[in-house]
Amino acid sequence: MPNGLVYSERYLEHDEPTHPENAGRLRAIVDVLREQGAWDESILLTPHPISPALLTRLHQPSYVDLLQRASTSGGGWLDADTYVTPASYEVALLAAGGAIRAVDAVLDDEVSAALALIRPPGHHARPSQGMGFCLFNNVALAALHALEERGLSRVLIVDWDVHHGNGTQDAFYDDGRVLFFSTHQSPYYPGSGAVGETGAGAGEGCIVNVPLPPGFGDAGYERVFDEILLPLAEDFGPEIILLSAGFDAHWIDPLAGMDLSIRGYARMASTLHQLAQRHCPDRLVMVLEGGYDPRALGYGVLATYRAWQGADPATAEDPLGPAPRQRPADDAALERIVQAARQAHGLAAD
């Protein structure tokens, strides 16, 4: 089966052109996918707005009403980072619905993997608060749909955005049905995501945070995936894998400094593909989050798309190349982080 792409021109209507999270981001992705042939290979999946009943299982009705009023009254700002336009409420409903459409497509065997090219992003959105460019928490709502409307019992969410997905963590902190794994730059916005944040109650041990100082690059991320994500995910046995895919950890991104390359992203995506092949074949969903350099964003999505077709990550199209800064590897710091995360989750020291 081919891959599927969730997309709507309506996602371009939520737009503040001078803001980092603008409609040009999505146009850049579509341009690369078209140029490289991926668009025409794909099944296009039409999104529909999320139902109010599912939306308010996560987001408080008072917040949903606030966002609707802000949008219909002409827009404004939820905080210093997060804008609302007259179209934003309806577009945000369609973004959350797009993530759900992607989940349904893989569960119904329409596609071999689904990439939800949606915006506004969502992983910072908390039940009562939009923040960090995010309005509704698309990936968390998609996970709830898989659990509560499609009958699944174990969902893996991997968040490789450079910022910690605090809203997603909040949604499932004491749940236990979701294994949430996050790599993120630290210290950095929003300030959450410490190794010791591991969940509570039924969710104890199901929240996995790997906070990384700047500059760890491809090799550091690869080690974190191999030594922390994989053993925990193998034990968890996911029935579907959702990827909160920010591409702002790329070395060229203007808002961060993690020094990943496109081929580094391809290797992480390939790891998720192989994991899915062992536990939940053809149940991979990408939900777009951040990424603020147009080329890194477009080619990062393309690398994920190709890796989920089974392509060798070493062959990923990478016009930007490796990080030119070539910061000295801090092996001791990486060792401390890896061992602290392994210890926090009961993995034996290497």
How many Cβ atoms are within 10 Å of 28's Cβ, its own excluded?
19
- Structure confidence at residue 300 (pLDDT): 98
At 238, which amino acid appears?
A: P
The mean predicted confidence, pLDDT, of the chain is 97
Inform me whether the pLDDT recorded for 328 exceeds 70.
Answer: no
Closest CA to 5 of 135, 94, 98: 98
Taking a C-beta distance cutoff of 8 angstroms, is the pair 167, 122 a contact?
yes
At 39, which amino acid appears?
A: W
Closest CA to 138 of 28, 243, 53, 41: 243
Query: Does this model's pTM top 0.95?
Result: yes
Q: How many CA atoms lie within 13 A of 18 on its CB side?
A: 0
Closest CA to 192 of 182, 179, 177: 182
* pLDDT tens track for 175-228: 999 999 999 999 999 999 999 999 999 999 999 999 999 998 999 999 999 999
Name residues whose C-beta falls within 8 Å of residue 132's C-beta, 6 or more positions apart in sequence. 81, 82, 124, 125, 163, 166, 189, 190
Max CA distance (Å), the chain: 57
Residue 350 pLDDT class (50, 70, 90 cuts) = low
Beta bridge partners of 129: 126
Return the active site residues.
Answer: 124
With 0-12 / 13-18 / 19 or more C-beta atoms within 10 angstroms meaning exposed / middle / buried, residue 213 is middle
Residue 288 pLDDT class (50, 70, 90 cuts) = very high
**Between 188 and 332, where is the model more confident?**
188
Letter string b/e over residues 224-253, b meaning 16 or more CB atoms within 10 A of that residue's CB:
bbebbbeebbeebebbbbbbbbbbbbbbbb
Q: What is the dihedral of CA 349, 313, 324, 256, to 10 degrees?
A: -70
Q: Tokens in use for 269?
A: 């995506």
* pLDDT tens track for 38-53: 999 999 999 999 999 9
Contacts 24+ apart (CB under 8 A), 229-234: 229/158, 229/181, 229/271, 230/271, 230/275, 231/347, 232/179, 232/181, 232/208, 232/345, 232/347, 233/156, 233/179, 233/181, 233/275, 233/279, 234/275, 234/278, 234/279
Residue 334 pLDDT class (50, 70, 90 cuts) = confident
Cα 96 from Cα 51, distance rounded (Å) = 9
Taking a C-beta distance cutoff of 8 angstroms, is the pair 297, 30 a contact?
no
Per cent of the chain over pLDDT 70 is: 98
Taking a C-beta distance cutoff of 8 angstroms, is the pair 91, 138 a contact?
no
What CATH architecture applies to the domain 4-344? Answer: 3-Layer(aba) Sandwich (3.40)
* pLDDT tens track for 94-139: 999 999 999 999 999 999 999 999 999 999 999 999 999 999 999 9
Q: Tell me if the bond preceding 49 is cis, omega within 30° of 0.
A: no
Enumerate the domain spans of the chain. Answer: 4-344
* pLDDT tens track for 141-177: 999 999 999 999 999 999 999 999 999 999 999 999 9
Question: Which of 70-74, 234-238, 248-252, 330-334 has the weakest average pLDDT?
Answer: 330-334
Residue 348 pLDDT class (50, 70, 90 cuts) = confident
* pLDDT tens track for 245-267: 999 999 999 999 999 999 999 99
Radius of gyration for the alpha carbons in the chain, expressed in angstroms and rounded: 18
